Structure 1
Amino acid sequence: MNPIIALLKANNISDEQIQSLFQALTQNPLAAMATLGQLGLPQDQLQQLMAQVMQNPALIKEAVETLGLDFSKVEEAKAKLQK
């Protein structure tokens, strides 16, 4: 299982909340960060999650594809942020 999804599930984050988080990520990465902050993850685990993503950004793509979402939307959103 994708380590991002596994960490969220280990913290009793529901499948619906996970799906919503990654749906937000495909539309607006900044909103996704706010949503992630509202999930109530312990600070140490949130830092661990961010470190994993920074070391291996492909984990986001893997998680998005695991959830059946379109990763190209993440790339589009990222491009918009860089403008």
Structure 2
Amino acid sequence: MNPILAILKEHNIDDAQVKELFQTLTENPLAAMGVITQLGIPPEKLQQLMGLVMQNPALIKEAVDELGLDFSKVEAAKAQLKP
């Protein structure tokens, strides 16, 4: 299992919330930060999660693929954030 998804499951984040988080991430990465803070993950685990993503951004693609979402939307959202 993808380590991002494993951390979310470890904190009893249900499948619907995980899918909502990644759906938001694919549509609006900045809004995803708001969603993730509402999940109630302890700050130290949230920091670990962010560290994983920073060290290995490919984990996001793996998680999106594992959830059956469209990664091209993540790329499009990322392009919108660049000046």
Shorter-normalised TM range: over 0.9
Identical pairs, percent: 67
Instruction: Tell me the TM-score normalised to structure 2 length.
Output: 0.98
The CA deviation string for residues 26-56 of structure 1, in whole angstroms up to 9 with x for no partner, is 1000011110011110000000000000000
CA distance in 1, matches of 2:6, 2:51: 15
Instruction: Tell me the TM-score normalised to structure 1 length.
Output: 0.98
**Deviation of the 1:82 alpha carbon:** 1.0
Q: Which runs of 4+ in 1 moved over 3 A?
A: none
What 5-or-longer segments of structure 1 have no aligned partner? none
Whether 1:80 aligns to 2:80 is yes
Aligned length: 83
List aligned pairs for 1:34-53, cutoff 5 A. 34-53=34-53
What 5-or-longer segments of structure 2 have no aligned partner? none
Instruction: Specify the alignment match of 1:23 in structure 2.
Output: 23
Root-mean-square deviation (CA, aligned residues, Å) is 0.5
